[in-house]
Chain A
């Protein structure tokens, strides 16, 4: 939680002023018992009504000043708390966006979402309350003690004993319940996960008529959340009764001590009332505090969860070479020849037992088309994900333009690469906004060209608003094939130097797929293309085909060469064409 506090820096002024005005308000409140004591000791003792009226006037004035201070304080604290949470959300969102694929894989989406939403709301509440009351309350408590000393030192000693006792109870309950609140939030994560899952997987769940079991599972998670909440609730509910006992015992003792002091003529009856009043003020303050402490404890638990995410550093250090600069070098003949080089590359996902890629060697000339084929789980996707440095290699060398991929500035590297992922996802917005992801400066003509090359022209033309047709979340108002073609167009808009098509034609019929490949081949510029596919038809015209099996390269060559030399490739080919030859 501590590290989060730096995001309050922009609100230093507010963070000082809010408690300050609260304290001012409290000060004026602390004078009230003294005024009352003087009413008893002076006004009543002398029977002086004028004196009582003037004192009452002072009390009203104190109240009015208190009101002004308090409103000011509320404004500053609201400003600081809301500003803080806004900043925090920004920082957290930014941080999540900077995490590398490995971290995203291990954390999971739903917990990130709760942390961004629910947890930050709790922290905002916490900060707001702390600014308003956490300083006010101790101030009143200690202020009451100081005032008690001005009345009578011996009686004030009762305060000296009471206050530490109270702090032990208050902070004890707070510290002990903190880990429990953490557990509550974790249970909430689960409930969120289940809800989300049932929304994203609704078709499968209904097709397998799993509604009842899912509801059952949800109810169990919900119940365990409920159980945890109630358990923490029972524990934190101890605070109020305990403080009540301590304070009232203190009042009893105060009456005793006061009695002796009055008996020996050291203090007056009015002063005993003032002492009891001060003790009551502490009680009132603590009751308020106790309710708030629950909120604050929760806020701290949530804050820690946010901090946890912020502490996850991207395991990938950014490089220093600007890929745009190194582009110039590409012209030298040597680099043309060895444009992209995989040199004994191995790769192992974090936490995995076995490497997903082992000892891959491949030399790619600029402008070549590379086909990558292999069985399910053979490492095709892992291989192409190394180029934009989504993951780091664990051994060997991978160079583009003669520079290690890890030496590039990641952004500049990725700008040169257009990738179409297996899962075709579009984002909320319009078709145009989605396409502009590839290149924000693209003109409409360029967009249409990319659409044409991606065989997606009819998708746009079929829409009433054309490029401005809205896209709903995940692109679900488009069919799978339409989405896929739009994601291809998105990559093409970039006019990438390296184009990666990761099984991106799976939802396309063969005619469209063939058209797509033809137009990519005919695109201007010297684009180096990586095509990952299951279909030999999609890659058989490639300049080089890499055959993967279980993370190892079992063949490299052209279609004809591989048919001769590579058994795995032949098998794949036969599986697709045998029937035809019969």
Chain B
């Protein structure tokens, strides 16, 4: 039952892959034509050789003239044949690599529009493994499939034709015995598909561990956890070894089994052929020709069966890739979504409820109204829902109930792109892309001039350290910022926002890693920047939020206090407690 289901899934995958292959139909046709020509040539050559052998009968009885003529034809045919074969290979390469390229592209595009809830839930290593390893394995399988399946099928058909033209009886022997090898092959293939799936899954699990361990290698070493990591790794590695061995061994049985069937065919031909020659129904040259046909005819069955196992593996990989491609994307922008141009910056939350998991309510019935240009500070103990609120404002997640409005309109009625471009965001979790400092700064405004960029960098006090880097703004930084300190990375993230200056700002612990001297200076730049811009500030350093127009004190997803610095201190509630604690060492 389960096996049947899997097979069905396999077929579904095949159909979807065919959709990708269709786009390359021009090249496919070329490849088919070339394959046909190629096979014709390959099949004609033994005929010619057979004819030549018939010219060589015995001592003093050799027709050299005949051999000479045949040899000439042979040379022409084989040259043409070689050219066709090369073109066919090139066409097959083209099709395979294009298909994989398109698959990868679609997978990547899907990653860009997957809801964050999906990405937050799935280990990045596993997704990477799908886009890279699975796609690669699929390409290998597909290429083998094309090169051998095509020529295989055509060879079978061609040989049949040629054999029929030589002798009917022997052809019957060949045709009746050979399909046995197909049964054998498909029997083995069915058994191995589930083994390949298991192998793929275990590999994904291992990639996740590798991603985690290698990505955080420094921490592993600091705690001397190399051994325990290695043990965990070895445990998966051992499981992988077991299921790989099964998959590899059982799939490799196909070839010897079918080859055995083929040797039966070959023997059959020799036997019947021998009788026929004695009976005078066949020449020795024709027998030689039939023997090599028997070989030619059975070989593709051999290869096809090999290809089938290879394709099983490829299909299992492709299924994982396609699963990713078909993952439900985030709710697309409404059809009549409006472009939010330059927002005035009025933000209202009405009866907003949200939770990541239904069982654990986080934000419940939250109401808030922010006037254009106001500075709103979010304060509260860790885990009170501040960052979640930001997730909602930027539509990384959608509210479960209620609505969030910007300039009086529900944010779900704007295009995501325009909504987000109205927010400038600096997060605590500094993230830089592989690229130069310049590329990183100009992310939000790719057409910024050199002057604008430097002005922004000066405003965020990043200019002086960038200047000292080996290549200044053109210094290439690796993933995770490499040798830059956490604070320097944060400065770059701030510069990024300084440069594009959107009407609304979100600063989530934007200066947590920056020393206070620099922070004071940035603070000035921030104040300047926040002038007339609606801003949301999350900070633990209460000095950074003292100047906010409204301070929201949050606890457990609720706003427990609201007001400005002075009035909240007077209230002597949670805020006052938090504030006073920072000076009591």
Contact = CB atoms under 8 A, between A and B. Distances in A.
A18 B443 CA distance: 56
A223 B101 contact: yes
Interface stretch (A263-271, A327-335, A397-405): A263-271
Max count, chain B CB within 10 A of own CB: residue among A79, A81, A437, A534: A534
Given A209-B421, A376-B485, A508-B540, A262 B62 contact: yes
A264 B212 CA distance: 76
A109 B224 contact: no
A280 B284 contact: no
B214 interface: yes
B52 A255 contact: yes
Contacts of B365: none
Interface stretch (A59-67, A140-148, A357-365, A443-451): A59-67
A78 B86 contact: no
A473 B479 contact: no
B97 A575 contact: no
A575 B230 contact: no
A169 B211 CA distance: 41
Nearest to B424: A207
Contact of B259 (A67, A121, A238): A67
Interface stretch (B74-82, B156-164, B528-536): B74-82
Interface stretch (B108-116, B175-183, B400-408): B108-116
B104 A222 contact: yes
Nearest to A189: B132
A102 B378 CA distance: 40
Interface in B74-123: 74-75, 78-79, 81-83, 85-86, 89-90, 93-94, 97-98, 100-101, 104-105, 108-109, 111-113, 116, 119-121, 123
A331 B478 CA distance: 46
Contact of B382 (A94, A256, A273, A481): A481
A200 B78 contact: no
Given A196-B124, A218-B105, A272-B56, A390 B222 contact: yes
A514 B275 contact: no
B234 A90 contact: yes
Contact of A117 (B58, B129, B260, B434): B129
A78 B249 contact: yes
Contacts of B230: 90, 93-94, 97
Interface stretch (B16-24, B347-355, B451-459, B514-522): B514-522
Given A234-B93, A419-B222, A49 B479 contact: no
A86 B90 contact: no
**Taking chain A's interface residues, is the majority helix, strand, or loop, or is none over half, making it mixed?**
helix
Contacts of B268: 56
Nearest to A98: B226
Contact of A118 (B78, B136, B484, B583): B136
B62 A237 contact: no
Interface in B166-214: 203, 206-214
Interface in B235-284: 237-238, 240-241, 244-245, 248-249, 252-253, 255-257, 259-260, 263-264, 266-268, 270-271, 274-275, 277-278, 284
A89 B295 CA distance: 41
Nearest to B62: A263
A248 to B, nearest CB: 4
A67 B256 contact: yes
B248 A128 contact: yes
Max count, chain B CB within 10 A of own CB: residue among A104, A202, A513: A202
A229 interface: yes
A162 interface: no
B219 interface: yes
Max count, chain B CB within 10 A of own CB: residue among A47, A132, A226, A540: A226
B516 A576 contact: yes
A86 B240 contact: yes
A432 B507 CA distance: 33
A284 interface: yes
B45 interface: yes
Interface in A504-530: 506-514, 517
A204 B62 CA distance: 83
B105 A245 contact: no
Interface in B423-452: 423, 425, 427-429, 431-434, 443-444, 446
A271 B323 CA distance: 58
Nearest to A244: B82
Contacts of A206: 116, 394, 396, 416, 420
B25 interface: no
Interface stretch (A173-181, A338-346, A422-430): A422-430
Given A67-B256, A113-B210, A255-B53, A241 B222 contact: no
B577 A511 contact: yes
Given A237-B86, A537-B583, A44 B278 contact: yes
Contacts of A97: 213, 217, 220-221, 226, 229-230
B562 interface: no
A93 B123 contact: no
Given A82-B248, A256-B71, A474-B212, A242 B82 contact: yes
Given A208-B420, A509-B379, 10 more contacts: A52-B274, A59-B266, A74-B256, A121-B137, A241-B86, A260-B62, A277-B292, A428-B212, A511-B581, A534-B515
List the 7 closest pairs (A to B, CB-CB), nearest first: A481-B382, A510-B582, A376-B487, A237-B89, A233-B93, A63-B263, A265-B59
5 contacts: A59-B266, A90-B233, A104-B218, A203-B425, A473-B212
